[in-house]
A and B are shown apart, each in its own frame.
Chain A
Amino acid sequence: MTADADLEAADAPAVTLPPPGVAASTSTGGQQVVFPDRARYHEVASAYRDGGFELLSDLCATDYLTHSGRRLPEGVAPERFELVVMLLSLSARRRVRLRVQLPEAELAVESLFDLFTGAEAMEREAFDMFGIRFLGHPDLTRILMPEDWEGFPLRKDYGVGRVPVQFKEAPGPR
């Protein structure tokens, strides 16, 4: 193999994106979204990283408990929780969004910490707010709430916790 061939091999995309077998669609405004299942999530994120998406720009979760129904591509079974990961390619100036369905019964997923060190704080926030466990995360503790807090505030079945306004000398509750 000559040096030229080496160069060509380096220039050619080493991976096909999205990886075969992963459902993909476009969302509002033509944003690219892929739907890896939970088992392949880490592998797909890794393929995207190798394919030039070098920056993890955001990681958050959504609780679809009271949602009236969302559009998902065929073959993707909706679950209560969804992990949303925004990846950014600086060289191609493109974004891609990974949406991973997470069942309530087994709320755990592999951590992206070994691929993107910057996932550390964001995964801790997702754990803090939704209780999603990230396997392989070095320090999975709460980040915004106190350590002894009960419940996960951004879940839909978590009360908003209004304190009723107390008026002075008001008659009791009617």
Chain B
Amino acid sequence: MSDNTFVRETSEGAQELHSRASTPVAELQREVGSVLRLPEGHTVDVEDIDIERPDDETMIINMGPQHPSTHGVLRLMMELDGETVLRTKPIIGYLHTGMEKTGEELTYQQGATNVTRMDYLSPLNNELVFSLATEALLGLELPPRAVWIRMLLSELQRVSSHLMWTATNGMDVGSTTMMIFGFREREMLLAFFEKTTGLRMNHNFIRPGGTAADLPDGWEDDVDLICENVALRLDDYDELLTGQPIFRQRMEGVGTLSADEALALSATGPILRSTGIPWDLRRTMPYLAYDQVDFDVIIGTYGDNFDRYAIRLNEIRESIKIIRQVLERMPMGDYRVQDKKVTPPPRARIDESMEALIHHFKVFTEGYKVPEGEVYAAVESPRGELGCYMVSDGSSKPYRLHIRAPSFVNLQSLPVMLRGGLMADAVATISSVDPVMGEVDR
């Protein structure tokens, strides 16, 4: 095989970032950011863009897909002038496995197993949004305990995901201590998930109709211990990072995004909140029982990396606040809806009743039929608005399953944040977007 064939086989062709001479004007204008609806006075004049810039002054380089700081298989092509980033283009799809297509082949009962693998740092949120969409189509009303168990797990997952982010972000800016700390604390949460759901990741625990099982005995003590420990260690992080001059210099004023840009780019989650827009679906469009618990929506001011760090750190505190309230107010009762259509019979009944055995077999092989319709459900995942658009044709499999992945959409704001900054800051900025490639590529 000659060198040329090798190059052709790994090429993404037209998806790549090309030299200025061979890029159409409309595309170039987008890449240098002159199409964003910027506030007046900041608007880039089309005449000012240096389209005619000779190519030999700048250099296009690849970062990724196998770069340790790109958090998975993210490939960025950057045009550099010295160390300054002029244009960036994320090239994605290396982890695409067609999960939306797979979702059309699986029943609603099996579907949670599929979606849980998308955002592998917060699988329970994926299951949650899938279940909410299915339940909306079925018109199910959940018992209160199921709702509160879901809320507890979803907040624990937010803590675990943000801890993981704090750890990897620390590593990206050069603090190995933070990485070890973050993973250490996350381990407690994963141990609890394992005890509750049987698995550390990809739980398949939240299912249409409720949850797969009740919480294990003594869960209150475990959760209490987690809250206590994490709350204490957050103060350590503050000491290690927040007040540290080197860390602040790496983060402050780097990768800034304005509120108008964030809105135009459809950014959600910590990125949108860091620009000062108080938009958190848990507060603004409450699902589960978030309207009954007390918590604050954390927002930033400057939209820079430091704001996004501070938001995530303090969101852990808010989540712990919610978890403590759930701990006090967890209602008793069923953990899943007693609708014979979607709920399999209890395991013990199968041994004594033929009908129960048939029912169990039917639910798990054939699934249950969901009325025709279409619905969009959204939850606030640690990364932003996680949505599920589901179309049903009345059979037992979703006709169309689309997941609105927050990382996929948020990745669009990365070129805007990187533009004009230094190559060395790019690593910190990529990390502050918090992309999970499993979700970006689906």
Name A's B-contacting residues (CB within 8 A). Answer: 27-29, 31, 54-58, 60, 62-63, 67-68, 70-71, 84, 86, 90, 93, 95, 97, 113-114, 116-122, 125, 129, 138-139, 141-148, 153-154, 160
CB neighbours (8 Å) of B13 from chain A are: 141, 146-148
Q: What's the nearest-Cβ distance from chain B to residue A16, in Å? A: 23
Interface presence of B387 (CB below 8 A): yes
Q: A31-B376, A84-B402, A122-B266 are in contact. List 16 more A-B contacts (CB 8 A).
A: A27-B375, A31-B375, A55-B266, A55-B268, A58-B404, A62-B391, A117-B36, A118-B265, A118-B267, A119-B266, A121-B408, A122-B409, A138-B27, A144-B92, A145-B96, A160-B101
Which residue from A60, A93, A141 sits with its C-beta under 8 Å from B389?
A: A60
Which residue from B101, B139, B409 sits with its C-beta under 8 Å from A121?
A: B409
Among listed B277-285, B294-302, B418-426, interface-contacting one: B277-285
Q: What's the nearest-Cβ distance from chain B to residue A23, in Å? A: 15
Contact between A29 and B408, CB atoms less than 8 A apart = no
Contact between B393 and A57, CB atoms less than 8 A apart = no
CB neighbours (8 Å) of A138 from chain B are: 24, 26-27, 29-30, 35
Interface string of B300-322 (1 = CB under 8 A from A): 00000000000000000000000
Contact between A120 and B30, CB atoms less than 8 A apart = yes
For B27, B284, B376, B408, the residue with the greatest tally of chain A CB atoms inside 10 Å of its CB is B376
CB neighbours (8 Å) of B267 from chain A are: 118
Contact between A121 and B29, CB atoms less than 8 A apart = no
Contact between A57 and B266, CB atoms less than 8 A apart = yes
CB neighbours (8 Å) of A90 from chain B are: 263, 277, 279, 284
Contact between B12 and A57, CB atoms less than 8 A apart = no
Q: What's the nearest-Cβ distance from chain B to residue A65, in Å? A: 10
**Given A31-B376, A90-B277, A122-B409: A116 and B101 within 8 A (CB)?**
no
Within 8 A of A (CB), among B34-85: 35-37
Report the Cα distance A32→B67, complex, angstroms.
Answer: 44
CB neighbours (8 Å) of A28 from chain B are: 136-137, 139, 373-375
Which residue on chain A has the smallest CB distance to residue B402?
Answer: A60
Interface presence of B119 (CB below 8 A): no
Which residue on chain B has the smallest CB distance to residue A71?
Answer: B372
Report the Cα distance A86→B267, complex, angstroms.
Answer: 14
Offer 21 A-B interface pairs, CB within 8 angstroms, sorted by A. A27-B375, A57-B378, A58-B376, A60-B404, A67-B393, A68-B393, A70-B372, A70-B393, A93-B284, A97-B376, A118-B264, A118-B412, A121-B409, A139-B27, A139-B30, A142-B15, A143-B92, A143-B93, A146-B13, A147-B12, A154-B100
Q: What's the nearest-Cβ distance from chain A to residue B95, in Å? A: 9
Interface presence of B394 (CB below 8 A): yes
Interface string of B395-410 (1 = CB under 8 A from A): 0000110101000110
Which residue on chain A has the smallest CB distance to residue B35?
Answer: A117
Which residue on chain B has the smallest CB distance to residue A54?
Answer: B263
Interface presence of B245 (CB below 8 A): no
Which residue from B30, B264, B387, B391 sits with its C-beta under 8 Å from A58?
A: B387
CB neighbours (8 Å) of A129 from chain B are: 100
Which residue on chain A has the smallest CB distance to residue B384?
Answer: A57
Interface presence of B214 (CB below 8 A): no
Q: What's the nearest-Cβ distance from chain A to residue B227, in Å? A: 30
Which residue on chain B has the smallest CB distance to residue A29?
Answer: B136
Q: What's the nearest-Cβ distance from chain B to residue A161, in Å? A: 9
CB neighbours (8 Å) of A29 from chain B are: 136, 375
Report the Cα distance A136→B72, complex, angstroms.
Answer: 32
Q: What's the nearest-Cβ distance from chain B to residue A62, in Å? A: 5
Q: What's the nearest-Cβ distance from chain B to residue A127, in Å? A: 12
Interface presence of B172 (CB below 8 A): no
Interface presence of B128 (CB below 8 A): no
Within 8 A of A (CB), among B240-254: none
CB neighbours (8 Å) of A116 from chain B are: 264, 266
Q: What's the nearest-Cβ distance from chain A to residue B217, in Å? A: 36
Contact between A68 and B376, CB atoms less than 8 A apart = no
CB neighbours (8 Å) of A148 from chain B are: 13
For B24, B266, B409, B442, the residue with the greatest tally of chain A CB atoms inside 10 Å of its CB is B266
